[in-house]
């Protein structure tokens, strides 16, 4: 293992100018007849026109760049790639090391508001004894952990990579982990494949819970609700998974060349998966949303970010069939999460659930939407494991 090197994000001015020039040349599609719902067939053309204009004329990338650079960042060679991560020391007695993992179409920009709530709880009215030292990597193949031509990663490989970062590079004998989306999948995999290194895991998406309707014989009423939710999800919401999981290279041409296309692809997910009442900026600020999209643009990492979908559709699994996760597990179920399996389904895989919390508000991007609620849950769960 090489020694970590301090990292500061700085996008060249010419790349910012190129982005603005491309945005100015955007060719928008027409808007299909859609009745009263302008999002019925995907991203609303009128909304994207407004967003693109704002991105080109008013969005301050340098301000978002500075917000990220306010946290200590590093790069280190792990598993043949340069892995980027934030490493923010906790303020309190004996802070617990916490690996914080994002998903798709997210990035480390998801964590700018929640990190201080975890590293310095006293600043937000919490107990300093609950402090964490937070390590938040850009997942391998995402954002600042991507370079053209590098190998691709599925969930098991991501888990091995970040486990090496925590244990071998940073020297933590054991650590906690938290994640949503693919971050939840990697966190779950850590609880299975690296259980000896794990204090406990906390997730806000049950990706490892079963999604096979045939596995639920004589379902309860709650399980029937979940099966209906699953059927709707599979029938109406998984088109992106099939293209990203079968032809990731083809899609990457369009989204690497067109910033408006990239924004349309990502914004539709921010809106559909957040607790926003149909207006995405009620849940996620325009600046933070554009910071995330801009990071995908400047790093040209969108194609690589598709790879976990391809790997999953071609045999990569979070854990082998029949295997279970026995490390202490906490789960926060946000009301607008994309899928909400009941505890009876989750307990088939997660055998040591210590905390199961049904949240009052929030969606898929919990760290972005509800940093206070999620931070409180994470602190409460790991308090019992210190």
Share of the chain above pLDDT 70, in %: 99
Given 181, 192, 275, 310, the catalytic residue: 181
Question: How confident is the model over 328-335, as a mean pLDDT?
Answer: 98
Q: How many domains does the chain have?
A: 1
Active site residue 314: no
Chain segment 260-276, per-residue pLDDT in tens: 999 999 999 999 999 99
Active site residue 309: yes
Chain segment 44-100, per-residue pLDDT in tens: 999 999 999 999 999 999 999 999 999 999 999 999 999 999 999 999 889 999 999
Question: How confident is the model over 338-360, as a mean pLDDT?
Answer: 96
Residue 62 located in a structural domain: no
- Alpha carbon 139 to chain centroid distance? 9
- Alpha carbon 30 to chain centroid distance? 31
Residue 363 located in a structural domain: yes
Sheet holding 73-78, edge to edge: 5-6, 73-78, 81-88, 132-137, 96-101, 175-179, 198-203, 329-333, 353-358
Question: How confident is the model over 35-50, as a mean pLDDT?
Answer: 93
Residue 325 located in a structural domain: yes
The Cα 307–Cα 223 span in angstroms is 31
1, pLDDT greater than 70: no
Residue 58 located in a structural domain: no
> 216 vs 185, which has greater pLDDT?
185
Domain that holds residue 149: 69-383
Give the CA angle between residues 175, 153, 270 to the nearest 5°.
Answer: 80
Chain segment 170-182, per-residue pLDDT in tens: 999 999 999 999 9
32, pLDDT greater than 90: no
What local confidence, expressed as pLDDT, does residue 213 receive?
67
Residue 6 located in a structural domain: no
Centre a 10 Å sphere on the Cβ of residue 334 and count the other Cβ atoms it contains: 28
> 228 vs 265, which has greater pLDDT?
265
pLDDT confidence of 223, banded at 50, 70, 90? Answer: confident
Residue 56 located in a structural domain: no
36, pLDDT greater than 90: no
Question: How confident is the model over 200-214, as a mean pLDDT?
Answer: 85
What local confidence, expressed as pLDDT, does residue 136 receive?
99
At 199, which CATH number?
3.40.50.1820
Given 192, 309, 310, 331, the catalytic residue: 309
Give the CA angle between residues 160, 311, 235 to the nearest 5°.
Answer: 130
Residue 49 located in a structural domain: no
Residue 351 located in a structural domain: yes
208, pLDDT greater than 90: no
Chain segment 99-147, per-residue pLDDT in tens: 999 999 999 999 999 999 999 999 999 999 999 999 999 999 999 999 9
Chain segment 300-330, per-residue pLDDT in tens: 999 999 999 999 999 999 999 899 999 999 9
């Amino acid at each position: 293992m090489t020694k970590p090197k301090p990292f500061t994000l700085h996008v060249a001015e010419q790349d910012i100018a190129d982005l603005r020039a491309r945005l100015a040349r955007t060719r928008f599609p027409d808007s299909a007849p859609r009745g009263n719902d302008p999002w019925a067939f995907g991203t609303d053309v009128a909304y994207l026109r407004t967003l693109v204009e704002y991105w080109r004329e008013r969005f301050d990338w340098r301000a978002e760049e500075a917000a990220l650079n306010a946290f200590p960042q590093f790069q280190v060679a792990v598993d043949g790639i340069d892995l980027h991560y934030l490493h923010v020391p906790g303020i309190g007695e004996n802070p617990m090391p916490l690996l914080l993992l994002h998903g798709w179409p997210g990035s480390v920009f998801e964590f700018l508001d929640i990190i201080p709530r975890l590293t310095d709880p006293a600043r937000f009215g919490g107990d300093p004894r609950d402090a964490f030292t937070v390590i938040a990597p850009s997942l391998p193949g995402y954002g600042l952990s991507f370079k053209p031509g590098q190998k691709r990663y599925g969930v098991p490989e991501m888990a091995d990579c970040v486990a090496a970062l925590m244990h071998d590079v940073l020297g933590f004998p054991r650590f906690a982990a938290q994640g949503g989306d693919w971050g939840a999948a990697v966190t779950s995999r850590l609880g299975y494949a690296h259980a000896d290194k794990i204090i406990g895991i906390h997730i806000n998406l049950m990706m490892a819970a079963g999604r096979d309707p045939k596995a639920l014989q004589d379902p309860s009423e709650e399980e029937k609700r979940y099966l209906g939710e699953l059927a709707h999800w599979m029938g109406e919401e998984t088109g992106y998974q099939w293209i990203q999981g079968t032809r990731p290279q083809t899609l990457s041409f369009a989204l690497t060349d067109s910033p408006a296309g990239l924004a349309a692809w990502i914004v539709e997910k921010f809106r559909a998966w957040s607790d926003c009442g149909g207006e995405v900026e009620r849940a996620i600020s325009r600046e933070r949303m554009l910071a995330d999209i801009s990071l995908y643009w400047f790093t040209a990492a969108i194609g690589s970010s598709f790879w976990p979908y391809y790997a999953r559709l071609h045999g990569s699994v979070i854990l082998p069939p029949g295997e279970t996760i026995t490390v202490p597990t906490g789960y926060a179920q946000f009301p607008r999460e994309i899928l909400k399996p009941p505890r009876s389904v989750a307990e088939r895989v997660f055998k040591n659930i210590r905390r199961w919390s049904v949240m009052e508000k929030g969606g898929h991007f919990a760290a972005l939407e509800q940093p206070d609620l999620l931070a409180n849950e994470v602190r409460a769960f790991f308090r019992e494991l210190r």
